[in-house]
Amino acid sequence: MNITHVCKVWYPRATGVTVHVDCLARWMKAAGHQVSVVTYDFSGELLPDMKWREEEHNGYRTFKTRFGNREIVQKAIEATQPDVVHAHGIWEHVHPAWEAARTAGARFALTAHGTWQFLYRTPGMESWHRRFQFWWYYRTRWRAMARDAEAVIALNAIEEKAYHALGVKNVYRIPNGVDCREFYPEVHTPLPATLTIPENYIFYAGAVQTQKGIFTLLDALCRLKGKGLCPHVLVAGDGPELERSQSLARDRQLNISFAGRVDRQYMPRLMADAGLFVLPSESEPFATVYLEAMASGTPCIGTASGGTPEIIVDGENGFLIPIGDVGMLAKVIENYYTPETDKTIYDKIKMNAVQRVQSNFDWSILTPRILQAYLS
């Protein structure tokens, strides 16, 4: 098949959706399919007379178009001559993807990546006008596209229920995945001199913003400092509240390093070397970073919200805390670093985490399911 994936954000600025599409494209290419990705160009390198930039990435083609120009997005998709158009997300690129699929006579697949269910907690959605705009879009055009799609992929039970409420028929429950050939215990990829890491650190990887729980983590670290416990925390990522987070960390004299946006190639090593991975988000549809940490044998602390309980089983392969529960987060971290704690508990958690990911979330398992959904 000739498969074209469409998403909003691409490297070097990577989101969880970016990583998802990249992995899926690589695995579909390896399965013998022709694969392209159409996305937006945020580099500023697209000249005024250029409709898009075509590049090679990991063995498949990418088409980077001017942001916001739906007509050009549609033409770029049509230029790939697709048999399947798979749109990822909910934003401006989805409607031209649907239009292109219908114009080309291709099958249309859709993965919202949970963004409808968690939209109102994301930055930029504070105004009532913005919320009403997307509520109306969701109830009209989005519902029409979802009902018309040959395959709608739900990452979690919340999404699946929401689609059925909209009257969508072709819903397939398929979670996010991870490439266990890249993420595994004891990765030894050399790190750049600018990225130094201590032993047994806490790792936070994600956007630095309230929705991801960065301030819950900072408050927990402050409580631990009051007890004389100061574990080193490495934060990989940037975001709208980076400066505020850095300022709070300085004022409270916390043992925390902000590495900014880290090159994707170093993530397996950073995941494998960490003592704990912490992302106490207010909402997560199905966070790939939990899968990456678990595949690396690193215990995760997440929140009991969204699709996270479908990944982490509390006390068995990681830890779940209530949203915003600073005291509980501090307690789980403290237990890990307390010398008297039975470390065999964490050895078992690490083993269970690796086994769960390898058995349920590896791309070698999920890719055939998505390909089958295209044809069902």
pLDDT digits (tens, 9 = 90+) for 173-182: 999 999 999 9
User: What would the 3-class secondary structure string for 306-370 be?
Assistant: CCHHHCCCECCCEEEECCCCHHHHHHHHHHHHCCCCCCHHHHHHHHHHHHHHHHHCEHHHHHHHH
Q: Has this prediction a pTM greater than 0.75?
A: yes
Structure tokens at 146: 């979802």
Of the candidates 178, 329, 189, the one whose C-alpha atom is nearest the C-alpha of residue 273 is 189
Q: Strand 233-236 and strand 202-205: pairing?
A: parallel
Q: Which domains does the chain have, with CATH numbers?
A: 2-177+362-375 (3.40.50.2000), 202-360 (3.40.50.2000)
Instruction: Convert 86-123 to b/e letters by CB count within 10 Å (16 or more is b).
Output: bbbbbeebbbbbbbbbeebebbbbbbbbbbbbbbeeee
pLDDT at residue 125, rounded to an integer: 59
* Reported confidence tier of residue 90, pLDDT bands at 50, 70, 90: confident
Terminal CA-CA length for the chain: 14
**CA–CA dist 337, 349 (Å, integer):** 15
pLDDT digits (tens, 9 = 90+) for 191-242: 998 898 888 999 999 999 999 999 999 999 999 999 999 999 999 999 999 9
**300 three-class SS:** strand
Instruction: Write down the mean pLDDT value for the chain.
Output: 93
User: What would the 3-class secondary structure string for 169-200 be?
Assistant: CCEEECCCCECCCCCCCCCCCCCCCCCCCCCC
pLDDT digits (tens, 9 = 90+) for 120-148: 555 555 677 777 777 777 778 889 999 99
